[in-house]
Amino acid sequence: MSDFIQYFFNGLVVGCIFAIAAVGISLLYSVLRLVNFAAGDFLTLGAFITYFLSVTLELNFLLSVLVSMIAGMAISWFLELVLWRNLRRNKAGTLALFLVATGVALMLRPLIQFLFGTETRKFNIDILKTYDFFGARIPQTQLLVLIFASASILTIALFIAKARIGKDMRAYANNPGLASVSGINVDRVVIATWLISGALGSLAGVFQGLVQGQFNNAMGESLLLSFFAAVVLGTIGDAYGALAGGLLLGLIMELSQLGIFFGGVPSNYKPVVAFATLVLVLLFKPEGIFGYRARKV
């Protein structure tokens, strides 16, 4: 019982981080039809900026997180103005966007390495303090991440459902042509999408750095494929599906270590479990868990 509680709790924490990162990727795809291969690098950048502010400059940790989110938003906004907007105006094709997105990721990675180095870093937060819960050992850092990540997910869901800009984003994603002629400010929707994606990427990076205890400049790159798996699992382009897909994927990856599953899957094989789950789901429901099959005419 204690093992189940331990892995289930770990799965919730990992799933919340996956969900936050996945919804940022999914929003960009649903609105702009752009696969953001730099999403993992935004995670890394968010963690390093927070480290620099909170540890090197000794600023308040929450303030440091807020500034890192603003930095992620600013970089996303800058790339939209100088790069993506011009590509859309020139009617760049899917392959061109794919190559440019890959190039942005390849430029950000050495830039992060140049600015922050390759050394392993960790936040000035006690990672050894734990709480007993029915025999399971719940780390304080993971408990805090779960609380704040859950609040972030709830905020994201309410924002998309209730806020005016959230409704405009959904309308534009469903039918760009109709949304444009119905009075929706397309530029405002695009900018908002990039700002939200940048903020969520930085926030997920801070959470991941806290959970890992330490991190380096390869953190986001190593998680990128798992984030894409969560997006596809939940249904490509569906923000709520990305939230559900991230949570589900995190739970499955952690619970797979229980002894009842062929003695338990070793922790270094958890990404294999993630993609095996994705393949199985897509074999039986190729549109994703939140998708629906197109009706044949």
Q: Which of 9-23, 31-45, 104-118, 283-297 has the lowest mean pLDDT?
A: 283-297
CB atoms within 10 A of CB 203: 26
Per-residue confidence (pLDDT) for residue 241, from 0 to 100: 86
Confidence of residue 292 (pLDDT cuts 50, 70, 90): low
Q: How many CA atoms lie within 13 A of 153 on its CB side?
A: 27
CA pair distance 31, 73, nearest whole angstrom:
17
Length of the chain: 297
Q: Which of 39-53, 82-96, 219-233, 254-268 has the lowest mean pLDDT?
A: 254-268
Confidence of residue 5 (pLDDT cuts 50, 70, 90): confident
What pLDDT, in 10s, does the model give residues 195-209? Answer: 999 999 999 999 999
Please say if the pLDDT value at position 296 is more than 50: no
| CATH number for the segment(s) 2-284 | 1.10.3470
What pLDDT, in 10s, does the model give residues 250-290? Answer: 998 888 887 666 567 777 778 788 888 888 887 887 777 77
Q: Which amino acid is at 176?
A: P
Q: Which of 68-72, 92-96, 115-119, 121-125 has the lowest mean pLDDT?
A: 92-96
- Classify residue 144 as exposed, middle or buried by CB count within 10 Å of its CB (0-12, 13-18, 19+): middle
Please answer whether residues 221 and 266 qualify as being in contact, where contact means their C-beta atoms are separated by less than 8 angstroms: no
Please say if the pLDDT value at position 126 is more than 80: no
**Torsion sign across C-alpha atoms 286, 219, 252, 13:** negative
Distances (CA, A) of 95 to 173, 215, 296: 20, 33, 28
Q: Look up the pTM and report it.
A: 0.90
Tokens, residue 253: 């990856």
Per-residue confidence (pLDDT) for residue 261, from 0 to 100: 62
Say which residue, 48 or 125, is predicted with more confidence: 48
Q: Taking residues 230-242, what's their average pLDDT?
A: 84
**Residue 46 — φ and ψ, nearest 5°?**
-60, -40
Task: Pick the closest to residue 250 from 228, 266, 270, 280 (CA basis).
Answer: 270
Tokens, residue 87: 């590509």
Which segments within the chain are labelled E, that is strand?
130-133, 136-139
N-terminal to C-terminal alpha carbon distance within the chain:
51
